[in-house]
């Protein structure tokens, strides 16, 4: 991210003279950089004669060196970008370029962030977590069974560890707090799922957003809204990564069946009436839970039916 923004991230006043000295540029050049910063990132700046410049509120920028040191313990490399179209897309380009998995891609901002079912993922700069873990998986489709639910469980545990105690999972892999979405997961495959393939685990977490975000069409919250404090995004990267590593190892050893009971204990919509949709197809019923493969168990007109697939959408029946 811009060197100027790194200096200003503490939310304190910095004089134009000191900023210029730190960056090796004139005070007029500092002013031009600040204008570009506001225009390109939409970040509000306060300008007070005699005191200098400061951000309207402090922010937490990603630290590539710190993340590299933390993820090195897991055997994962990391790449941090100022901006990209999406971290999943960047990870796929890296795989095609011969970069060996496992590795993590992080970005301060996304210009074309994506959620499930082709929906846009709103990605304002320097506020949230945009994270993709690229893995190589062999052994066929059995290794992928229930994997997206396990990832959701890992992210939920990380959020609870960071102080969001009411976080829970919603099938298949969203994380909610009191009816509001706080995080989502987009998993994509490259290669042959029946043999050797790459899995891209894309994670988006609303971290330090506090005001309205244009383009979000559902109730949402953020870690900052829930904890009432600025969240250190580098600490979040560390906690999410270690939680993912732990649960991915358990999934590889036990399969989803070994984690099913824990997932069910955190299932916020169990016992609720919901509507399941896929294109023009709809089913309404009572959520019973999930099976050993992670498929949704739904009671429809008194009969249990099971559903699985990445294009399915689950909503509460009374959700307008």
Query: Is position 114 annotated in a ligand binding site?
Result: yes
Query: Does the active-site annotation cover 181?
Result: yes
Q: Write the Ramachandran bin of 89: left for phi over 0, alpha for psi from -120 to 50, otherwise beta.
A: alpha
For 63-86, the pLDDT digits (tens) are: 989 999 999 999 999 999 988 989
pLDDT band for 150, please (50, 70, 90 cuts). very high
Most confident of 95-99, 194-198, 306-310: 95-99
Of 79, 116, 157, 260, which one is the catalytic site residue?
116
Spatial CA neighbour of 146 closest among 103, 76, 199: 199
Percentage of the chain exceeding pLDDT 90: 55
Question: Is residue 113 very low, low, confident or very high in pLDDT (cuts 50, 70, 90)?
Answer: low
DSSP string, 191-238: E-TTSEEEEEEEEEE--S--S--TT--S-B--HHHHHSS---HHHHHH
Q: What angle do CA 143, 160, 56 make, to 5 degrees?
A: 120
Question: Is 88 assigned to a binding site?
Answer: yes
My answer on whether 208 and 78 are in the same domain is yes
- Average pLDDT of 77-102? 94
Do the annotations mark residue 87 as ligand-binding?
Answer: yes
The verdict on whether 116 is a catalytic residue reads yes
CA 311/CA 320 separation, integer angstroms: 20
Residues 107 and 253 in one domain: yes
Determine if residue 138 is labeled as part of a ligand binding site.
Answer: no
Percent of the chain with pLDDT over 70: 91
The catalytic residue among 181, 233, 238, 260 is 181
154 and 251 within one domain: yes
320 pLDDT more than 60: no
Tell whether 198 and 97 lie within a shared domain.
yes
What is the pLDDT averaged over residues 53-58? 84
Confidence label for 297 from pLDDT (cuts 50, 70 and 90)? very high
Structure tokens at 20: 């210029």
CATH of the domain at 41: 1.10.10.10
pLDDT over 90 at 27, yes or no? no
Mean pLDDT, the chain, whole residue set: 88
Of 119, 284, 305, 315, the catalytic one is 315
Tell me what the mean pLDDT of segment 30-39 comes to.
83
Cα separation, 302 vs 130, whole angstroms:
41
Average pLDDT over residues 120-146: 83
Number of domains in the chain: 3
In this structure, the answer to whether residues 117 and 242 fall within a common structural domain is yes
Domain range for 294: 269-316
**Are 142 and 68 part of one and the same domain?**
yes
pTM for the full predicted model: 0.88
Q: 106 with 179, same domain?
A: yes
pLDDT the model gives residue 202: 96
**Same-domain check for residues 273 and 260:** no
Please, is 182 exposed, middle or buried when counting C-beta atoms within 10 Å of its C-beta (0-12, 13-18, 19+)?
buried
Residues 103 and 200 in one domain: yes
In a shared domain, residues 256 and 116:
yes
The closest alpha carbon to 223, from 169, 168, 165, belongs to 165
Same domain, 49 and 152: no
Which CATH number belongs to the domain containing residue 107 in this structure? 3.30.930.10
Q: 């933390």: which residue's tokens?
A: 70
pLDDT of 190: 85
Average pLDDT over residues 268-282: 85
Q: Determine which of 55-59, 129-133, 160-164, 251-255 has the lowest per-residue pLDDT on average.
A: 55-59
């Amino acid at each position: 991210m811009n060197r100027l923004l790194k200096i200003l991230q503490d939310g304190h006043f910095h004089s134009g003279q000191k900023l210029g000295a730190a960056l090796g540029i004139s005070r007029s050049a500092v002013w031009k950089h600040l204008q570009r910063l506001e225009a390109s990132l939409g970040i509000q700046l306060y300008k007070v004669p005699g005191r200098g410049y400061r951000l309207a509120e402090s922010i937490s920028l990603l630290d590539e060196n710190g993340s590299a040191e933390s993820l090195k313990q897991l055997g994962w490399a990391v790449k941090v970008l100022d901006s990209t179209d999406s971290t999943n897309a960047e990870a796929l380009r890296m795989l095609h370029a011969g970069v060996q998995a496992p590795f993590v891609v992080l970005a301060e901002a996304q210009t074309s962030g994506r959620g499930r079912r082709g929906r846009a993922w709103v990605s304002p700069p320097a506020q949230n977590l945009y994270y993709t873990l690229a893995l190589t998986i062999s052994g066929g489709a059995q290794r992928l069974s229930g994997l997206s639910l396990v990832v959701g469980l890992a992210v939920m545990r990380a959020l609870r560890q960071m102080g969001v105690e009411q976080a829970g999972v919603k099938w298949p892999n969203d994380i909610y707090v009191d009816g509001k979405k706080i995080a989502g997961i987009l998993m994509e495959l490259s290669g042959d799922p029946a043999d050797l393939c790459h899995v891209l685990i894309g994670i988006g977490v609303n971290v330090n957003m506090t005001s309205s975000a244009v383009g979000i069409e559902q109730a949402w919250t953020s870690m900052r809204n829930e904890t009432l404090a600025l969240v250190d995004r580098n600490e979040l990267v560390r906690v999410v990564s270690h939680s993912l590593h732990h649960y991915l190892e358990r999934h590889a050893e036990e399969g989803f069946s070994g984690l099913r009971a824990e997932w069910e204990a955190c299932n916020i919509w169990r016992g609720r009436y919901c509507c399941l949709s896929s294109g023009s197809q709809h089913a309404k019923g009572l959520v019973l839970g999930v099976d050993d493969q992670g498929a949704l168990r739904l009671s429809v007109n008194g009969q249990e039916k099971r559903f699985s697939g990445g294009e399915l959408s689950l909503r509460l029946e009374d959700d307008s």
